[in-house]
């Protein structure tokens, strides 16, 4: 579905370094990382909205630049900022977008509009942030796209809206030939629906793996201050000290076994824990 190989892009104060990952058909991949890590830049490169310095991107096995039109016909794209003409109504805007897609399905679009309780005659500028996102999603899902790419689709949305959107994405993925790639800061959303997680930090991929494998690999260790010393401290990925003790992240099973069992607590981390300790070290 999507294959990035050794992608590089340099801005004045930022560098995207050797980004590589694959997304297979039938899966949802979440793209996480702190602010400024390079998520939007990567998505813009995938969509050929900015030029790469080196590397390659294949979508459906085709080069994303050479076959741009062909590839984009089959992508549903949801961007984090509204790119609509604010003075138009939903219907007018849809009439501009629809002819670009040979497989546009008016019936599906109408179903989504109804499902999202949107009024076709509402002007875009009168829509709330959540409603605009629902409209964006309706457009992205109404032309039989095989790959849905979204940049922070759930940011700024309340939990009810978010859950609705996640349910719809989950429905889309029931067709095993479709895939979804989306960036987010809301790691709990990914814990619910993602199959794979790609984690980017400071322009570099930290990991790209099945979610279950990630959650099985890492552990949070909690213990009193007396356990932490200069030798073992450096073996943790990240450490957070409090007045009474410490919490730390590790992916080293042997190391955990060596720590005295009766003095530590071993817990499974959330994706947010993994992100926090990896970024803060």
Q: Which residues bind ligand ATP (CB under 6 A)?
A: 11-14, 33, 35-41
CA-based angle 256:209:236, to the nearest 5?
25
Rounded CA gap, 209 and 190, in Å?
13
CB proximity list for 81: less than 8 A, separation 6 or greater: none
Least Å from the CB of residue 50 to ligand ATP: 7
Residue keyed to tokens 């979204």: 150
Least Å from the CB of residue 109 to ligand ATP: 29
Least Å from the CB of residue 169 to ligand ATP: 20
Using CA atoms, how far residue 215 sits from 80, 106, 189, 197, 276, in Å, is 28, 41, 15, 10, 14
Nearer to ligand ATP, 43 or 93 (CB): 43
Residues 220 and 249: beta-carbon distance below 8 Å = yes
Least Å from the CB of residue 249 to ligand ATP: 21
Q: What's the order of all strands across the beta sheet hosting 2-10? A: 15-23, 2-10, 54-59, 62-63
For 253, what's the count of Cα atoms within 13 Å in the CB-facing half-sphere? 2
Least Å from the CB of residue 279 to ligand ATP: 12
Least Å from the CB of residue 241 to ligand ATP: 27
Nearer to ligand ATP, 48 or 92 (CB): 48
Rounded CA gap, 213 and 37, in Å?
23
Least Å from the CB of residue 34 to ligand ATP: 7
The bridge status of strand 179-183 relative to strand 147-151 is parallel
Least Å from the CB of residue 237 to ligand ATP: 20
Rounded CA gap, 247 and 25, in Å?
38
CB proximity list for 19: less than 8 A, separation 6 or greater: 4, 6, 7, 8, 38, 42, 55, 200, 204, 205
Q: What's the N-to-C CA distance of the chain in angstroms?
A: 33
Nearer to ligand ATP, 185 or 222 (CB): 185
């Amino acid at each position: 579905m999507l294959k990035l190989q050794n992608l590089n892009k340099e801005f004045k104060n930022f560098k995207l370094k050797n980004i590589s990952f694959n997304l297979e058909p039938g899966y949802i991949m979440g793209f996480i990382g702190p602010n400024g890590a390079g998520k939007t830049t990567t998505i813009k490169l995938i969509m050929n909205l900015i030029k790469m310095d080196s590397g390659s991107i294949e979508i459906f096995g085709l080069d994303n630049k050479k076959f741009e039109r062909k590839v984009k016909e089959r992508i549903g794209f949801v961007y984090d900022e509204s790119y609509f003409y604010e003075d138009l109504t939903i219907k007018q805007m849809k009439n501009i977008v629809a002819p670009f897609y040979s497989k546009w399905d008016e019936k599906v679009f109408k179903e989504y509009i109804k499902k999202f309780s949107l009024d076709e005659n509402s002007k875009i500028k009168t829509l709330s942030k959540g409603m605009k996102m629902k409209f964006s999603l309706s457009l992205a899902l109404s032309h039989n796209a095989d790959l849905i790419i979204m940049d922070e689709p759930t940011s700024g949305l309340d939990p009810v809206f978010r859950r609705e959107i996640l349910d719809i994405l989950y429905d889309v993925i029931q067709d095993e030939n479709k895939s979804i790639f989306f960036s987010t800061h809301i790691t709990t959303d990914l814990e619910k629906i993602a199959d794979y997680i790609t984690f980017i930090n400071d322009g570099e991929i930290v990991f790209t793996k099945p979610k279950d494998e990630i959650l099985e690999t890492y552990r949070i260790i909690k213990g009193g201050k007396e356990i932490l010393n200069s030798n073992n401290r450096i073996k943790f990925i990240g450490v957070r000290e409090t007045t009474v003790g410490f919490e730390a992240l590790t992916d080293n099973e042997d190391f955990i076994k060596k720590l005295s069992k009766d003095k530590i607590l071993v817990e499974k981390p959330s994706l947010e824990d993994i992100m926090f300790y990896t970024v803060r070290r």
